[in-house]
Amino acid sequence: MIIILEPDLDNQKTTVQAIRAVAQRYPGVTVKPYEFKGTTHRFTEVHLIGSTAAVPTGPFEGLPGIRQVVRVSAKYRLIGRHDPAHETAGFEHNGVRIDESTVHLFAGLCAVDTPAHVDEMMAALAREGIVTTRMGAYKPRSSPYDFQGLGKDCLPWVFESAGKHGIRLIAMETTDASHLDELWEALDRAGHPTAVMVQVGTRNAQNYELLKQIGRQHEFPVLFKRGMGITLEESLNACEYIASEGNPRIVFCLRGVKSLLGEPHRNLVDFAHVPVVRRQTRLPVCIDPSHSVGTRLCAPDGLPDIFHAVGQGVIAGACAVLVDFHPHPEVALCDGGQALTLDMLGPLVEYIRRVRAAYLESVAAMEGLDFTALASA
C-alpha cells in the first residue's frame, strides 16, 4: 500500500509520524517513507510493506496531509508513477540536473581509444556549451576477439580532459561491480574534475547481481539501457531492482530491440515506448539512436537516419539523448559506422532544439483536451 502525501507539505514529518502511529495497529507492516524531487515540487510517499492485504485504507485517508492511498502490486513500487499528477523524479549530479525541464545530449565516443580523440571530442562539446558526454572504457563485445575497451587505464586522461573542457557528467558503462571502485578511485585520484553516471548495458539488463551492486552504491546515478531481447516490463523490473537496493537516481534509456524486422537498421527502433515509460514510471527517459539505428546513412531529405530517430524520441518527450560521435570514425575501434562526425554536432544540437520546441508547442496547443473523454464520446 502506498500513501501519497500532498506535494510540498510543510508539516510532512508530523504526517509521516501519524501514519506510523496508525500502521502500528497492524502487525507485520513496515513503514518506509520516500521522497522524490520533481522539477518544481517535492513529493513524499509512505510505503507500507508486508502483509497489507487486510489493512484498510480508511484510517490513513482520514489523516491530514494525505492526497491519496493506493494499493499497488509489488510491481514498480519505487519507480512507478502511482499518481499521474506526479512529475518525473529527476536528480542532480555534479551540478547537472536531469529531469524533464530540458533535453540533455550525451554525445561522445562509443569506446575510448586515444587521448587525442577524447580531447577533440571534449573540446567540440565545450564549443557547443555541452557539459555531458558518453565515453566507453569497459566495452561488452559480441566477439571476444573485438576491442574490449581500455578499462581503468584510460580513466586518468579521460577525467583530466573532461575537467579541462568543463564536462561535468560522463555516461560510462560498467560491466562488473569492481568497475565501480575503479571509477571512484580514479575520480578521487584526479580530484573529481568531472563525474560519472554508470551505464548498465543492454546485455546486462538482467544481470541481477550487477543491478544490486549498482543499487547499493550512492556515488553514481545510473543510465539503464533497456534489454534488447526482453519485454519492457522485464527491463522496468530491472530498474526496480536498482531502486529497491537504495539508488533511485535512474535514467531509463530506450536503445532499440533485437529483431530482423528492424533491418536494415541494427535494431528495431522502439521510441514509441517513450510515452509508455513516462506513464508507467517516474524515470527520466533517454533515447539512444546510435545503437538502435546503427548507421550514419542519410534519408533522401538529407538528414541522417540517426537524426530522424532522435526526432522521434524527442517529439515523444524524451529528455536525454545518448549518441555515438567520433572525430575520425574511420579509425574508431568500436561502432565507427554509426558514429557521427564532429561537424555534425552543431547541426544535431540545433535539430534537437527545434524538435523540442515543436514538442512543447504541440503539447501546449492540446492542453485542456481530455482525450479519454473524447475517445468515449
Contact footprint for ligand PEP (CB under 6 A): 110, 136, 173, 201-203, 225, 255, 288, 291
- DSSP, res 375: H
| 113 touching Mn ion, by CB under 5 A | no
The stretch near Mn ion (CB under 5 A) out of 144-152, 195-203, 249-257, 332-340 is: 332-340
Lookup: cell for 46: 509512505
Nearer to ligand PEP (CB atom), residue 110 or residue 277: 110
376 three-class SS: helix
| 321 touching Mn ion, by CB under 5 A | no
| 171 touching Mn ion, by CB under 5 A | no
| 110 touching Mn ion, by CB under 5 A | yes
16 three-class SS: helix
The entry of Mn ion, ligand PEP, none that residue 280 binds, CB within 5 to 8 Å by partner kind: none
**Residue type at position 230:** I
Min. distance of Cβ 48 from ligand PEP in angstroms?
Answer: 36
Report the C-alpha gap between 353 and 94 in whole angstroms: 24
Report the C-alpha gap between 351 and 322 in whole angstroms: 15
Report the C-alpha gap between 293 and 308 in whole angstroms: 10
Nearer to ligand PEP (CB atom), residue 141 or residue 192: 141
The entry of ligand PEP, Mn ion, none that residue 117 binds, CB within 5 to 8 Å by partner kind: none
323 three-class SS: strand
The stretch near Mn ion (CB under 5 A) out of 2-10, 116-124, 228-236, 329-337 is: 329-337
Nearer to ligand PEP (CB atom), residue 77 or residue 255: 255
Nearer to Mn ion (CB atom), residue 4 or residue 135: 135
Q: Which residues contact 36 (CB under 8 A, 6 or more apart)?
A: 42, 43, 44, 45, 86, 89, 248, 282
Min. distance of Cβ 298 from Mn ion in angstroms?
Answer: 20
Nearer to Mn ion (CB atom), residue 22 or residue 334: 334
Nearer to ligand PEP (CB atom), residue 67 or residue 203: 203
| 240 touching Mn ion, by CB under 5 A | no
**Distance, CA of 112 to chain centre:** 21
- DSSP, res 154: G
Nearer to ligand PEP (CB atom), residue 280 or residue 338: 338
* Helices within 165-261 (DSSP H only): 178-190, 208-216, 232-244
Report the C-alpha gap between 42 and 36 in whole angstroms: 6
The entry of Mn ion, ligand PEP, none that residue 173 binds, CB within 5 to 8 Å by partner kind: ligand PEP
Binder among 335, 340, 348, 351 for Mn ion (CB under 5 A) = 335
The entry of Mn ion, ligand PEP, none that residue 67 binds, CB within 5 to 8 Å by partner kind: none
Residue in 256, 241, 272, 284 with CA at minimum distance from that of residue 104: 284
Q: Where are the beta strands (DSSP E) in 264-318?
A: 285-287
DSSP sequence for 37-53: E-SS-EEEEEEEEES-T
Min. distance of Cβ 263 from ligand PEP in angstroms?
Answer: 17
- In the block, cell 575520425 appears at 328
Q: Do you find a cis peptide bond into 264, omega within 30 degrees of 0?
A: yes
The entry of ligand PEP, Mn ion, none that residue 152 binds, CB within 5 to 8 Å by partner kind: none
Nearer to ligand PEP (CB atom), residue 110 or residue 121: 110
Report phi then psi at 267, rounded to 5: -140, 170
Report the C-alpha gap between 217 and 181 in whole angstroms: 10
The entry of ligand PEP, Mn ion, none that residue 90 binds, CB within 5 to 8 Å by partner kind: none
Min. distance of Cβ 255 from ligand PEP in angstroms?
Answer: 4
- In the block, cell 533485437 appears at 258
- Half-sphere exposure for 46 (CA within 13 Å, toward CB): 28
The entry of ligand PEP, Mn ion, none that residue 227 binds, CB within 5 to 8 Å by partner kind: none
Nearer to ligand PEP (CB atom), residue 43 or residue 106: 106
Min. distance of Cβ 203 from ligand PEP in angstroms?
Answer: 6
The entry of Mn ion, ligand PEP, none that residue 305 binds, CB within 5 to 8 Å by partner kind: none
The entry of Mn ion, ligand PEP, none that residue 255 binds, CB within 5 to 8 Å by partner kind: ligand PEP
Report the C-alpha gap between 311 and 304 in whole angstroms: 11
Binding stretches for Mn ion (CB under 5 A): 110, 335
